[in-house]
Amino acid sequence: MTRKIVKSKYHFEPDLIETIGEVSIEEIKPWGSNDELKIIGKPTSRIDGAVKVSGEAVYTSDVILPNMVYAKILRSPHPNAQIKNIDTSEAEQLEGVLYILTYKNAPEIGWYYNTSYLFDKQVRYQGDEVACVAAESEKIAEDALHLIKVEYENLPFVTDAVEALKDNSPKVHEWGNLPRGNPDKYKRGDVEKGLKEADLVIEDTFTTQVVVHNTTEPHCSVAKWEGSKLTVWDSTQAIFNVRDSIAASLQIPASSVRVIKKYMGGGFGSKLEAGKYSVIAALISRKIKRPVKIVLDRREENLAVGNRPNSIQTLKAGVKKDGTLTALSHHSIGSIGAYPDGAGCSWPLRTIYKCENVSTEEYSVFTNTGKSRAYRAPGHVQGTFGLESLIDIAAEKIGMDPLEFRLKNYTDKDQVYNIPYTSKKLKDAYEKGANAIGWHRRNKVPGSSNGILKRGIGMATQIWWGGGGPPAYATLKLNRDGSVNVMAGTQDLGTGTYTFIAQVASEVLQLPIEKISITIGDTETCPYCGASGGSTTAASVAPAVRDAAEQMKAKLISGAAAILETSEEKLIYAEGIISVKNDPSKKITIHEIISKMRERVLVTTGARSANPEGYMINTFGAQFAEVEVDTFTGKVRVIKIVAAHDIGRVLNPKTLENQFHGGIIQGLGYALMEERKVDSNTGKVLTANLYSYLIPTIMDTPEIEVIIVSEGDSMISSVGAKGVGEPAIIPTAAAIAHAVYNAIGVRIKSLPITPDKVLNALTLIKR
């Protein structure tokens, strides 16, 4: 099949990436409704489910190699300090210690955009890397850390983003506390003019906390050399990113590095880039000529591998009495920790509602705390809480139903680029979601229900990208016996990638799913696919798999035509057998074709098609929450969440529901309990464990109802699937917060909504 390289665009999180990608020229007709399909859209159990529950599946943290040693990282106890000296002599004496890496013997490797080295003499947050010990056991390595003597000169520090913006604040980096020296700004129309046209101007401030990814499987890496060839098992969302970063850091060819990741216990954005631990493992392993394993512990997970930045958002809206939004503005400050990242959160305000006059100004500020990283819909979770709270307030002020207010400001065009969406079924999501929760049951007057336990209902809207795009490839091998191997350099973060790839191949080739074996997460044996992030995996990879399978079908048909001495048009393919249309006695099996070709394996490689020009690809949704607030204890219990979304085609309802459950429960934690706390006097994290950093358990989990209002989006690809990983979490916290308001009649504008905040709020009303 002919290929060419064409221009395409896609969104990876907020970044609009213009790329060129190789695509097949032959157009594949997009699938119609799921009713016409046999396996796609049908509840399909994870093909990797059994090996996972039996414990046979080898996660990176399970990898054990012959002769392997363990390494542990010494981290700074101080928020800002200069290292005057490191004395490792005593640690080196400990029996079983093999090697110690510090700034003294580490190569000067630039890291994170050259703002620090692998081991810098300045440490900028509690948790910054200071040294690493490799030893015969994890215990010995840990013991040795205590024997390393580090002389620190403590420096003034700042942990609060607002403080860090002041002129007299300590500077995290020499050049100041704003990575680029300026805030990020966006503007369209004229906000002042819009506010003048309004009947009412509403302004309010909303704040959100820092939360930590706390993936089930910690960040980890195992490095092994064989001559000049390095193999790294890494718990990562992006095997090719890790391969290239390690190769660049070690200044060796990328072809000499193989990165493998088979199974994974979550990433949520914290595993998109190579970690320092991976490079450290590779360096030490090269030195001591033994495989090295580094697994971070729960404390390190809470200190040093990323977080969702906090936000202080001041929003303004101009509203007419009929509900028209005449202006929206957004000002935000967020802490990105000690190294460059972004804390912007204005995208929902820029794009969800129809509004001509919009301005945003966002400060992503350095502080002496752990670096923030992309975290499941970065910016959107914070931003949606701010925007949707303001919208709820605006609706109430003009006496309009909050859902009607949202419909009044509905748009069929992307507001930033002024182009239409490939599809948007948010109206259906509003309608079906409202019916499912019983929207009419909410308190007409917030807080008006009687008794100690007060119930309320709220809702919020979601927008995200998640359309995926090229480049993404899949290689398909068909064996003589009709079994199939599919290889793709993508990742399964626990999300169901293995299963949807098998489903797509099974659907096209009409072969049982049990005959299809999937290899992913290996840079050496798999063709390139991008990072598993931005909710792009299924949207990018599924069409590449379909392309490979369709090509295989075409190849088989042409082979059958040659053997049966007929033309391809006269042949039909069904379940691995090709027959002549009006002479079904003339038929040939896959086995016979491949045998006659004297091959044992037929190979095709499929590619993701380009995205259409002039259209915006987004996901949309609305979540509705019902809560019960105990006005005696202040505790909020979420009774039910209805998630109604437009996410393109559903590939597998089972894993789709899993994704929504995960996102909603994580969103519930964000709404009600999770919070990284830093003591501003000492610069130390008070919650670096899972007993003071609370995450939801099954006891906190509400009834969850998932409603998908979309079918395949035929404009985006032959499969028409979009992502669900991030849409699932985006509106949850806002919906819960609005339900709390509806229950108690006082609005809590700061997350998490903990019992103390609820009780304080209730005291305010009683006065």
Residue nearer to ligand MOS on the CB measure, 375 or 615: 375
Does the footprint of ligand MOS cover residue 272 (CB under 6 A)? yes
Do 647 and 722 contact (CB within 8 A), yes or no? yes
Does the footprint of ligand MOS cover residue 376 (CB under 6 A)? yes
Does the footprint of ligand MOS cover residue 217 (CB under 6 A)? no
- CA 58, CA 52: separation in Å to the nearest integer? 8
DSSP state letters, 724-752: -TTTTTTTHHHHHHHHHHHHHSS---BSS
Do 663 and 733 contact (CB within 8 A), yes or no? no
Pairing label, strands 220-226, 149-154 = unpaired
Do 408 and 323 contact (CB within 8 A), yes or no? yes
Does the footprint of ligand MOS cover residue 269 (CB under 6 A)? yes
Does the footprint of ligand MOS cover residue 213 (CB under 6 A)? no
Do 492 and 452 contact (CB within 8 A), yes or no? no
Neighbours of 378 (CB within 10 A): 26
Bond from prior residue into 471 cis (ω within 30 degrees of 0):
yes
Does the footprint of ligand MOS cover residue 471 (CB under 6 A)? no
CB of 339 to ligand MOS, least distance (A): 17
Does the footprint of ligand MOS cover residue 309 (CB under 6 A)? no
Does the footprint of ligand MOS cover residue 266 (CB under 6 A)? no
Residue nearer to ligand MOS on the CB measure, 267 or 446: 267
x/- contact string, 493-532, with ligand MOS (CB under 6 A)? ----------------------------------------
Q: Which residue is nearest to ligand MOS (CB)?
A: 269
CA distances from 209 to 277, 397, 552 (A): 27, 27, 51
Segment interacting with ligand MOS, rule: CB under 6 A, options 185-193, 263-271, 496-504, 657-665: 263-271
Distance of CA 131 to the CA centre of its chain: 30
Do 359 and 318 contact (CB within 8 A), yes or no? no
Does the footprint of ligand MOS cover residue 378 (CB under 6 A)? yes
Do 331 and 313 contact (CB within 8 A), yes or no? yes
**Closest C-alpha among 462, 463, 460, 320 to residue 742:** 460
Place of tokens 């690493």: 132
- CA 541, CA 223: separation in Å to the nearest integer? 28
CB of 539 to ligand MOS, least distance (A): 12
Does the footprint of ligand MOS cover residue 534 (CB under 6 A)? yes
Residue nearer to ligand MOS on the CB measure, 347 or 375: 375
- Catalytic residue list contains 726: yes
List 81, 97, 123, 374, residue binding ligand MOS (CB under 6 A): 374
Angle in degrees, 0-180, between the axes of helices 732-744 and 380-397, rounded to the nearest 10: 30
CB of 378 to ligand MOS, least distance (A): 5
- CA 279, CA 355: separation in Å to the nearest integer? 47
Segment interacting with ligand MOS, rule: CB under 6 A, options 197-205, 223-231, 266-274, 667-675: 266-274
Does the footprint of ligand MOS cover residue 726 (CB under 6 A)? yes
Which of 273, 626, 674, 726 is catalytic? The answer is 726
Segment interacting with ligand MOS, rule: CB under 6 A, options 215-223, 255-263, 265-273, 598-606: 265-273
Distance from the first to the final alpha carbon of the chain:
75
Does the footprint of ligand MOS cover residue 533 (CB under 6 A)? yes
Segment interacting with ligand MOS, rule: CB under 6 A, options 94-102, 261-269, 321-329, 727-735: 261-269
Residue nearer to ligand MOS on the CB measure, 237 or 302: 237
Tokens of 689: 């464990």
Residue nearer to ligand MOS on the CB measure, 271 or 738: 271
Residue nearer to ligand MOS on the CB measure, 13 or 547: 13
Identify residues 229-248 at the interface with ligand MOS (CB under 6 A): 237
Does the footprint of ligand MOS cover residue 308 (CB under 6 A)? no
- CA 479, CA 470: separation in Å to the nearest integer? 28
List 59, 111, 117, 375, residue binding ligand MOS (CB under 6 A): 375
**Closest C-alpha among 277, 286, 284 to residue 128:** 277
- CA 26, CA 23: separation in Å to the nearest integer? 9
Residue nearer to ligand MOS on the CB measure, 391 or 729: 729
Residue nearer to ligand MOS on the CB measure, 329 or 537: 537
Do 408 and 341 contact (CB within 8 A), yes or no? no
Binding site for ligand MOS (CB under 6 A): 13, 237, 267-269, 272, 374-376, 378, 533-534, 726
Which residues are known to be catalytic?
A: 726
